[in-house]
Structure 1
Amino acid sequence: MKACAPGKLILSGEHSAVYGAPAIALAVNRYIRCHSTFTSTHDLTLRLPEFNWQVQLSWSDLRYLNDHLNQRFQQFEQGLIGAGDILEAPHQLALYALAQCLPETDPDTGLALEIHSELPLGSGMGSSAALSAAVTRLAQHLFATPLNTYDMFQRVRYCERLCHGRGGLIDAATVSYGGMVQVEAGQVAQLPVQLGDHWYYIHTGAPAVGTGECVDNVRRHWGDTGIWQDFSALTEQLRATIVAGTDPRQLIQANHRLLSDIGVVPRPVQHFIQQLENLGGAAKVSGAGAVSGDSGGALIAYLPDIDLAGVCQQAGYRYMAIEEDKQGARLED
């Protein structure tokens, strides 16, 4: 059996969504894919070839790991460990998502699970949410009653709390539902519009710090300020602009200024975005960004009539045109 889940890119509202402001994101056609085969070994084998990871454990070991990670989350809540220390290895998230789908008694068969990712870690493309969603969509069909999309979204949020210290709405909603999604004050709405042409994803490199650390840093310095009203207004204007199919550059540039103000756009990334603006484009961080180091993860950019290849080659950045995924996490043939 096979399953996949798309990556995501936040168009507007990163950080401000934590404070109840709206956020808009798009599911994109880059995926995490899972393939499972039942075996006669009565244990679990997990392989992630791109990261050269392989682990083999019994079903009882998997249940123990589930309890262990729940305890580590409690330690985070007590302030004993940081958000980035809850998981002791990235592949533990896949195992945790699988453990949530196990029946009360151990399966009477073994399972070989192989996971392939087109989403680089720390890329701002929601790799942890997509991993949780793909494994959950597969495992629920193997071991449990299939979840509807809303329950799937809530399950992904629950698993993702191990990555960031809290289960974010926007990543979990986008990879679960697919298409363009808006979240606000805990509510999820699908937006029946298309992004249009001239939008690009640019990868500036993995940030030096994780999402949880960025969110906590911003909260300490900006949590009680009125800047989130400015973010909220820009997000609403961008949504209206996308629906109308009009030029979003001025709004993207203003959003970038706000993200720079709260300290999540590293200086080299700011210089790169200025280059794009000088050429007539617009770009902003998509995701948590970074509060230290030179890399900011993902950018989204609106770039009509610009030779992006040359600019990105000079900076050492990768890029691709943004293409939408409309279906979200799903089984595959």
Structure 2
Amino acid sequence: MVIVRAPPGKVILYGEHAVVYGEPALAMAINRYVYVMAKARNDNKVSINARDLRLAGVSVTINEDGDIVARTDYGAVISALSYVKRAVELAMEYLDKRVGIDLEIRSEMPVGAGLGTSAAVAVATIYAYIKELGYDIDKRELARLAWQVEKDVQGSASPTDTTMATFGGIMYVKPEGNNAAMEPVKPGTSIPLIIGYVPRVSTTKDLVAMVRKKYEVMRDVIEPIIRSIG
């Protein structure tokens, strides 16, 4: 059994949304974490106990066909757990092994608050699965796989959140095709930061899709704004 604490959630200081379109972003970690406990099984099933991933006490099983079977009526949970499902699939593909796993997930961050919870879950799940099976993975490759999780689930995503969940600290991030520049930044002084949180959920997937639609419909207006942000 292994327990992984994903390096923390994040706030984007500069480059929000523009980073999805290839512009750079500067992001900073915060001291809130996601924990994933993984224990290998003797079958091919994936069992997930998500204690506080959107709703407390949610238990689901992913069967051998990859379908999520939930023991709850809350459809919103399925969306949140799509990141876990895809993270496990990519970890299996990376190792070229399919081994069942019991996962227990705890989060100190609210879901849907823009703090990168889904990215932290993806990073921690992939790493926990790989470590439980006795392997290791380079941090940049871990960040790349977790970024793929977000792209697959959301349809479009920047590498910012998954980079932060992998490395922590303050990072300069710039997409470069299917890869990304990921460089640590050392500030010359401390950076005081206050985060205000209100219990209003807006999913990253929906917000990214909204910006994408505006970009496609009013490209001559939106593209200069994106470039200016960069």
TM-score interval for Structure 1 and Structure 2 normalised by the shorter chain = 0.7 to 0.9
- 2:211 counterpart (211, 215, 218): 215
Higher Rg of the two aligned structures:
1
Residue 100, structure 1, aligned to residue 90, structure 2? yes
Conservation of the 8 A alpha-carbon contact between 2:15 and 2:26: yes
- Matched residues in 2 for 1:120 and 1:20: separation? 28
> 1:190, CA displacement in angstroms?
1.3
Conservation of the 8 A alpha-carbon contact between 2:62 and 2:85: no
The TM-score normalised by the length of structure 1 is 0.56
The TM-score normalised by the length of structure 2 is 0.78
Give the counterpart letter for 1:228 in structure 2. I
Deviations 1:32-62 (A, max 9, x none): 110123455663321012223211344x23x
- Matched residues in 2 for 1:92 and 1:229: separation? 32
Match for residue 44 of structure 1? 46
Match for residue 3 of structure 1? 4
Give the counterpart letter for 1:178 in structure 2. G
1:18-37 pair list within 5 angstroms: 18-37=20-39
Instruction: Call closer, same or farther: CA 1:45–1:184 in 2, change over 3 Å.
Output: closer
Match for residue 118 of structure 1? 108
Match for residue 230 of structure 1? 228
Q: Any stretches of 5+ residues in structure 2 without a counterpart?
A: 69-76
- Matched residues in 2 for 1:7 and 1:194: separation? 22
Q: What is the RMSD computed on CA atoms of the aligned residues?
A: 2.7
Residue 191, structure 1, aligned to residue 185, structure 2? yes
Deviations 1:231-279 (A, max 9, x none): 23xxxxxxxxxxxxxxxxxxxxxxxxxxxxxxxxxxxxxxxxxxxxxxx
Give the counterpart letter for 1:121 in structure 2. V
Q: Give the number of equivalent residue pairs.
A: 207
Conservation of the 8 A alpha-carbon contact between 1:101 and 1:144: no
Conservation of the 8 A alpha-carbon contact between 1:47 and 1:54: yes
Match for residue 181 of structure 1? 171
Match for residue 56 of structure 1? 61
Instruction: Call closer, same or farther: CA 1:197–1:121 in 2, change over 3 Å.
Output: same
Conservation of the 8 A alpha-carbon contact between 2:9 and 2:115: yes
Give the counterpart letter for 2:122 in structure 1. S
> 1:208, CA displacement in angstroms?
7.3
* SS of aligned partner of 1:91: helix
Conservation of the 8 A alpha-carbon contact between 1:164 and 1:211: no
Instruction: Call closer, same or farther: CA 1:40–1:113 in 2, change over 3 Å.
Output: same
Instruction: Among all aligned residue pairs of Structure 1 and Structure 2, give the percentage whose two residues are the same amino acid.
Output: 22
Give the counterpart letter for 2:5 in structure 1. C
Instruction: Call closer, same or farther: CA 1:43–1:231 in 2, change over 3 Å.
Output: closer
* SS of aligned partner of 1:21: coil
